[in-house]
């Protein structure tokens, strides 16, 4: 028998011997609010004894402890935290008598840390002009929250959060961009608050958005030229523009959520606009891109480092109408190009071939591809995007407008020189006739 129950038993025996058989009252405990609460919120416990006695002195207990931590009928936690969570009960003693009540049933106080969860719709890989919505939610609580939006930034070797200048337009939990631009590329997080004094959630999980331009001013050149690479090899990434400028930095966002520069890291070294990863590791898996000195981001490429089988696929988007060739490669096989099955978006599209070729690519061929070998295993998935071709038709054949424009621009200097020479020649002839 517990010692805390002995006075109650003696009181019961005394009442029986003296002829008193009235029932010993049992308090009822209520808790407000009566649902799980978040750290920092206010919670009130109340002990009620319904016996007609005008005045009681109350005792509060936590768990199985016999230690009284409060003697008020209502005990309030002004800013509750995780250590306050637990089971609570109370009893009472008459202030003008000798009776003591029973101990109440226990009520449970649950305290959790409010956590923001960030998602994106419809997808994180975008082309200029696409719509996208970031959605911020608080687990376990749907109402009363106001949301703030941030982008993740690099400060030396540390990651910081920068409040978006138009953060308030996403205060309802949805931050919508009707027409994505290159400037919307970034790594986003959100946070929520409610009540006064405010209760804050943790910063959410990170959510990147990658916006691809139609004609980026710089290309990320990867050597070897593929998006999936073996572990424990060297990998080279360089930013190349038309002026051969060195004002570019290779930056990456890894699957572990780190935003890093090649020039200020231990994973690689940068010379000019070229970054070299000396020995690849699965932790190097992530999105890589080129960043200008003024902060613009261009040409994002998802690179996967894998120990086993890889899919050999093109780094850059495939132009509509071109051929797409895929290989399944394993470094420990001879030959390394395997005879394997190829899949798109989880569906088998070609069985047991060393080379899968789609002769005329269309937008419908866009998707996630991977390969599988019965003995060597399965490759990671790679997204293959298809660039829509803006073409003109001549006698049944299609010629890209971009190709025509580039040819014209390449020929412009020669045309200009020719025009100047003809003009000078005509002037000289005119003088001769005079």
Per-residue pLDDT reduced to its tens digit, 124-164: 988 888 999 999 999 877 678 999 999 998 765 677 899 99
The 3-class SS string of 349-407 reads: EEEEECCEEECCCCHHHCEEEEEEECCCEECCCEEECEECCCEEEECCEEEEHHHHHHH
pLDDT at 4: 45
pLDDT tens column, 184-193? 999 999 999 9
Q: How far apart are CA 207 and CA 13, in angstroms?
A: 68
Q: What does the DSSP 8-state code read for residue 67?
A: -
Measured between its terminal Cα atoms, the distance across the chain in Å is 134
Q: Determine the CATH number of domain 308-389.
A: 2.60.40.10
The architecture (CATH level 2) of 3-112 comes to: Sandwich (2.60)
Fold that domain 217-303 belongs to in CATH: Immunoglobulin-like (2.60.40)
Q: What pLDDT, on a 0 to 100 scale, did the predictor assign at position 422?
A: 56
Q: Can you read off the two tokens belonging to residue 172? A: 């309802």
Confidence category of residue 41, pLDDT binned at 50, 70, 90: confident
* CA-closest candidate to residue 293, choices 315, 267, 272, 316: 272
Is 86's pLDDT higher than 90? yes
Average pLDDT over the chain reads 84
| Residues composing the chain | 434
The yes-or-no verdict on residue 434 having pLDDT over 90 is no
pLDDT of 43 > 60? The answer is: yes
Q: pLDDT confidence of 6, banded at 50, 70, 90?
A: very low
> Cis (ω within 30 of 0) for the bond into 33?
yes
Query: Which CATH superfamily does the domain covering 116-212 fall into?
Result: Immunoglobulins (2.60.40.10)
What are the tens digits of pLDDT across the range 270-294? 888 899 999 999 999 999 999 888 8
pLDDT tens digits along 345-393: 999 999 999 999 999 999 899 999 999 999 999 999 998 988 876 555 4
pLDDT of residue 356: 96
Q: What CA–CA distance (Å, rounded) separates 408 from 394?
A: 17
Per-residue pLDDT for 123 more than 80? yes
pLDDT at residue 400, rounded to an integer: 47
Enter the pTM of the model: 0.68
pLDDT value of residue 236: 95
Checking if the pLDDT of 413 tops 60, the result is: no
pLDDT on residue 15: 47
Angstrom distance (rounded) from CA 59 to CA 270: 68
Say what the pLDDT of residue 312 is.
96
* Contact predicate 200/193, CB 8 Å: yes
Q: What is the pLDDT of residues 296-315, one digit of tens each?
A: 888 899 999 999 999 999 99
Q: Are both 3-112 and 116-212 of the same fold?
A: yes
Q: Are 309 and 338 contacting, i.e. CB atoms less than 8 angstroms apart?
A: yes
pLDDT (tens digit, 9 = 90+) per residue, 11-32?
Answer: 444 444 444 446 789 999 999 9
pLDDT, residue 418, reads 54
- pLDDT given for residue 12 in this prediction: 43
Name the band, by pLDDT with cuts 50, 70 and 90, for residue 325. Answer: very high
Which span out of 94-108, 145-159, 240-254 was modeled with the highest average pLDDT? 94-108
- pLDDT at 390 (0 to 100): 59
Which residues, other chains included, contact 301 with Cβ-Cβ below 8 Å and sequence gap of 6+? 220, 222, 227, 287, 288, 289, 315
| Banded model confidence at residue 427, pLDDT cuts 50, 70, 90 | low
Longest dimension (CA), the chain: 149
Spell out the domain ranges in the chain: 3-112, 116-212, 217-303, 308-389, 397-433
pLDDT of residue 391: 52
pLDDT tier at 423 (50, 70, 90 boundaries)? low
Whether the ω angle into residue 247 lies within 30 degrees of 0, i.e. cis, is no
How many percent of the chain have pLDDT more than 70? 82
Preceding amide of 312 cis, omega within 30? no
Contact 231, 280 (CB under 8 A): yes
Average pLDDT over residues 34-38: 84
């Amino acid at each position: 028998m517990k010692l805390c129950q002995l006075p109650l038993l003696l009181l019961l025996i005394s009442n029986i011997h003296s002829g008193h058989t009235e029932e010993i009252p049992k308090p009822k405990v209520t808790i407000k609010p009566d649902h799980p609460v978040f750290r920092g919120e206010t919670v009130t416990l109340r002990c009620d004894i319904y016996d007609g006695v005008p005045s009681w002195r109350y005792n509060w207990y936590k768990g199985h402890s016999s230690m009284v931590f409060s003697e008020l009928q209502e005990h309030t936690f002004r800013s509750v935290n995780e250590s306050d969570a637990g089971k609570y009960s109370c009893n009472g003693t008459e202030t003008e008598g000798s009776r003591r009540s029973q101990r109440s049933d226990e009520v449970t106080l649950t305290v959790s840390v409010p956590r923001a969860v960030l998602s994106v719709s419809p997808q994180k890989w975008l082309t200029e002009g696409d719509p996208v919505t970031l959605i911020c939610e608080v687990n376990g609580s749907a109402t009363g929250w106001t949301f703030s939006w941030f982008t993740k930034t690099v400060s030396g070797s540390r990651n910081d959060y920068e409040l978006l200048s138009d953060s308030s337009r996403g205060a309802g939990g949805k931050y919508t961009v009707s027409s994505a631009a290159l400037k919307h590329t970034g790594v986003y997080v959100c946070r929520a608050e409610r009540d006064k004094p405010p209760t804050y959630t943790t910063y959410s999980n990170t959510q990147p958005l990658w916006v691809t331009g139609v004609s980026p001013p710089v290309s990320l050149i990867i050597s070897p030229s593929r998006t999936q690479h073996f572990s424990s090899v060297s990998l080279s990434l360089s930013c190349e523009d038309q002026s051969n400028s060195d004002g570019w930095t290779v930056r990456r966002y890894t699957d572990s959520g780190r935003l890093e520069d090649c020039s200020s890291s231990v994973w690689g070294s940068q010379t000019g606009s070229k970054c070299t990863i000396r020995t690849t590791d699965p932790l190097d898996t992530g999105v890589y891109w080129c960043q200008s000195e003024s902060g613009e981001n261009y040409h994002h490429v998802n690179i996967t480092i894998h120990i086993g089988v890889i899919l050999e696929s093109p780094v850059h988007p495939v132009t509509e109408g071109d051929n797409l060739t895929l290989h399944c490669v394993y470094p420990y096989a001879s030959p390394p190009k395997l005879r394997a099955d190829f899949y798109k978006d989880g569906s088998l599209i070609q069985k047991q071939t060393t080379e899968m070729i789609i002769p005329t690519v269309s937008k419908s061929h866009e998707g996630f591809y991977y390969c599988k070998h019965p003995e060597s295993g399965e490759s990671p998935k790679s997204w293959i995007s298809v660039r829509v071709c803006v073409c003109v038709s001549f006698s049944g054949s299609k010629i890209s407008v971009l190709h025509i424009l580039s040819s014209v621009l390449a020929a412009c200097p020669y045309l200009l020189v020719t025009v100047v020479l003809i003009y000078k020649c005509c002037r000289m002839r005119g003088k001769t006739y005079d």
